[in-house]
Amino acid sequence: MALLEVRDLSVVFQRKGEEPFRAVDGVSFDVEPGQTVGLVGESGCGKSVTSLAIMGLLPKRGVTITGSVSYDGTDLLKLSDKEMRDRRGRDLGMVFQDPLSSLNPVVPIGLQVTEVLERHRGMARKEAMVEAKTLLDKVGIPDPNRRLKEYPHQLSGGMRQRALIAIALACRPKLLIADEPTTALDVTIQAQILTLMKELVHDLGTALVMITHDLGVVAGLCDEVNVLYGGKVVEKAMRHKLFAEPRHPYTHGLLASIPRLDAPRGEKLTPIKGSVADNIPWSQGCAFAPRCPNALDVCTRETPAEEAQLGRLLRCHNPVVPGTPAAEEVSV
Partner 1 sequence: MVLGLSAKKEKIDATAGVSLAASAWKRLRRSPVFLTGAVIIGLFILVSLLAPWLAPHNPADPMLIDQVVKARNEIPPSQPGHPLGGDLQGRDFLSRVLVGSQQTLIVGVVATLFGLTGGLILGTLAGALGGWVDSLVMRVVDVMLSLPSLLLAFSIAAMFSRPSQFTVILAVSIVQIPVFARLLRGSMLAQRHSDHVLAATALGVKKGAIVFRHMLPNSLGPVIVQSTLVLATAIIEAAALSFLGLGNPDDRTPEWGQMLGDVQKVFDTHPHLAAWPAICIIIVALGFTLMGETLREALDPKNRR
Beta strands 224-229 and 232-238: pairing type?
A: antiparallel
Among 15, 57, 75, 186, binds partner 1 (CB under 8 A): 57
Residue 132 within binding range of partner 1, rule CB under 8 A: no
Residue 105 within binding range of partner 1, rule CB under 8 A: yes
d(CA 328, CA 115): 54
d(CA 305, CA 299): 11
Residue 211 within binding range of partner 1, rule CB under 8 A: no
Beta strands 74-75 and 63-71: pairing type?
A: antiparallel
Binding mask 1-40 for partner 1 (x = CB under 8 A): ----------------------------------------
d(CA 91, CA 84): 10
Alpha-carbon torsion (177, 179, 183, 184), positive or negative: negative
d(CA 294, CA 290): 10
Residue from 80, 159, 76, 56 nearest 113 by CA: 159
Instruction: Please identify, among the stretches 91-99, 124-132, 228-236, 313-321, the one whose residues bind partner 1 according to the rule CB under 8 A.
Output: 91-99
Instruction: Please identify, among the stretches 24-32, 96-104, 132-140, 279-287, the one whose residues bind partner 1 according to the rule CB under 8 A.
Output: 96-104
Least CB distance from residue 140 to partner 1, whole Å? 17
Residue 124 within binding range of partner 1, rule CB under 8 A: no
Residue 251 within binding range of partner 1, rule CB under 8 A: no
Residue 49 within binding range of partner 1, rule CB under 8 A: no
Among 11, 65, 76, 94, binds partner 1 (CB under 8 A): 94
Least CB distance from residue 307 to partner 1, whole Å? 35
Chain centre distance of CA 78: 23
Write down how long the chain is: 332
Residues 6+ apart with CB under 8 A from 201: 34, 36, 176, 207, 208
Residue 123 within binding range of partner 1, rule CB under 8 A: no
Among 98, 131, 214, 245, binds partner 1 (CB under 8 A): 98
Which C-beta is closer to partner 1: that of 6 or that of 327?
6
Residues 6+ apart with CB under 8 A from 237: 224, 225, 311, 312, 313
Residues 6+ apart with CB under 8 A from 210: 36, 37, 38, 39, 178, 181, 217, 218, 221, 222
Instruction: Please identify, among the stretches 86-94, 130-138, 209-217, 258-266, the one whose residues bind partner 1 according to the rule CB under 8 A.
Output: 86-94
Residue 90 within binding range of partner 1, rule CB under 8 A: yes
Residue 55 within binding range of partner 1, rule CB under 8 A: yes
- Estimate the share of the chain in helix, then strand, then coil, as percent rounded to the nearest 5: 35, 20, 45
15 burial via Cβ count (<10 Å: 0-12, 13-18, 19+): exposed
Residue 154 within binding range of partner 1, rule CB under 8 A: yes
d(CA 295, CA 319): 9
d(CA 134, CA 192): 19
Among 74, 104, 284, 309, binds partner 1 (CB under 8 A): 104
Among 62, 64, 107, 296, binds partner 1 (CB under 8 A): 107
Instruction: Please identify, among the stretches 1-9, 88-96, 240-248, 275-283, the one whose residues bind partner 1 according to the rule CB under 8 A.
Output: 88-96
Among 116, 163, 185, 234, binds partner 1 (CB under 8 A): 116
Least CB distance from residue 154 to partner 1, whole Å? 4
Residue 220 within binding range of partner 1, rule CB under 8 A: no
- Residues near partner 1, by CB under 8 A: 55, 57, 85-90, 93-94, 96, 98, 101-107, 115-116, 119-120, 151, 153-154, 164, 167-168
